[in-house]
Chain A
Amino acid sequence: MSVETGIAKIETRDLDFYYGPSRALKRVNISCHTNRVTAIIGPSGCGKSTFIRSLNRMNEVVPGTRMEGTILLDGHDIHASDVDVVELRRRVGMVFQKPNPFPKSIFDNIAYGLRINGLKDKRKLENVVERSLRGAALWEEVKDRLGENAFALSGGQQQRLCIARALAVEPEVILFDEPCSAIDPIATAKIEDLIETLEKSYTVVIVTHNMQQAARVSDYTAFMMLGELVEFDVTEKIFTNPANKLTEEYITGRFG
């Protein structure tokens, strides 16, 4: 299902996913476009996290899982034999549900992705750290304490640190897996603002169980239920005039 014309940045075709014998995704077709925010909503257990974790092949690290169907990044199959999963994950960054800073200094957290790719030049690292922290709207708050342990930051700051850490390796796509579910409303607002800024330079996909959040930040919304894509359309249409009865019932809060 594609809402926009032109080649999608990410496109899934008949994506199926299994945890052992249980099927978590059923023939899911979604396209995500550059400079657009695509939100995935749906009740708990609908497969939205499974879906987003397929896009950077993070599901592979879970034992006993199996995937069928195709995922294209710039029209190229991400499971093709010439694709290096390590390079794929650099291009498709991810921010997790719970802020997961490493127990290192703020600086070392941001520099982590560059260092594992062999960058040692201190000046360059400093530049990227500053740029990434600015990009994640965290620089002003931490610029005087880059050597402090990242655990000393508040939950909302930690999540922005994780965003900065993802930005540092210059990804093309950023996946957000319920990024605000573990932080307070004020910090949530900051992250939502940030997502709107990131949209200008990246392809953003966000999983959320907060419908208002999807309505606020996204251009397109996909509604999933029980592993199936129920409806995928322009966000405004989904929230004002959904085509499917289930979508309407969900967004009006009749179940969820």
Chain B
Amino acid sequence: MLTLFLLLPVAGALIAIALPAAREGEAKVIALAFTGLNFALAVVMYVVFDRGVEGYQFVERFEWIHGAGFTVQYVVGVDGLSAPLIVLLGLLSMVSVLVSWKIDVKPKHYFAWLLILESAVAGVFLSLDLIQFFLFWELELLPMFFLISQWGSGRRVYSAMKFLIYTLAGSALMLVGFLVIGFGAKTFDIEALTKTPPQETIVPLAIVFWAIMLAFLVKLPVFPLHTWLPDAHTDAPTAVSVMLAGVLLKMGGYGILRIVLPLMPNEAHDFSKVLATIAGFSVVWGAVITLRQTDLKRLVAYSSVSHMGYVLLGVSALGPVGLSGAALQMFTHGCITGLLFVMVGMIYDRTHTREIAKLRGLMHHMPLIGTVFIVAGLASLGLPAMSGFVAELTVFLGSIEAHPAATMAAVFGVVLSAGYILWTVERILHGPKTHDFHDLTDAKQWWEITAMAVLVVAIIGTGIWPAVLTDTVRLGIEPIAKIVEAAS
């Protein structure tokens, strides 16, 4: 089932590419069909997922490279940590196709890359082998690079390049770390490594810890490794921003929870203060800079830096509640920021500008877009009854004892987020009617309505009924928390 999830988008991409030039406009239909099917598959998986047992489910495996003393295998599986992320991936991939409905430059290549991207990210979330994880991690760069550099805007080549090199630099270190661990323990199997974490390695584990951690911190991203993110977002097409903020950043947090903590719990304890400090600082730094942004996309991008700081804060607390908070925050940030980027894209499509100073009074002309923008904004500032609140609160509850100062900084970030969100709403949506925008239309197309609706439902649904997430997340966090707590 999981292999099917992994391969369906590839199949879709192949079909799209095979379309004759005259019918390349149909690529979007194929993309929607395949991402829709994949989303349905993810939901089925999530429903069938057995919440009575810990450990991986739907595991599929075969040996791939059988070397002397080690094996590289293909093995996929989900647990409570990855299952919500798979649903999120399915959801946002479908949304990405919907918001790309009007792409007419080389559409079959565009949608093919988008589908490949879904497969690559799915591979990261599903892989239970370090080498396989690494391969998918690298594979994701390819579609991202082409999507940004070919279908982007502004300094797209610069931004795509920056994204590529930054991630590559991080993943080079990660691969080194993986190899050290793998050869030391004679296996790359994550499940096996989790059961018996490596004790003796040829390089001190502290160095391995940071080698791997750095790659994940770049991806997350946190201060001071974040500057690739605003550039990549600003110049990427809407759908790519949605995928980037919605699921790609989660690869960083996921990697920390799945690989770093269970494999190197002692080092995690040694450096937890450092991580918490980075996290608290990142939250405030990101939020303060967000306040100063003049471009809507950069604004949302910097708010992501701030919000992903919560993930790291939850991780650094090293307790079950904090770790759960981190996992929840990943899911919720994916939905919320995904929706914010969708809304910014819709505004840009109509007004052809993302400059806040040029936008005003949009609520009069596009009440639906305005309303959904406000909903997304309120969710982003952590309003209760929406998914962000429970996630942030869980992080704070988990981290207050271990890192009181960083937690206070992070809670202050909540105040700042109210500032930048509501100030933005005031500037672009409120105010008198202006003549500049009188001929603009509200969101009326079915693909726009669907893209907004599914995300709003996800945000409010999980906000009002968090158990739909928490019961699953708890299963995934429990074994990790046990390992980490045993090491303290």
Q: Does B bind A?
A: no
Which residues does A use to contact B, with CB under 8 Å? none
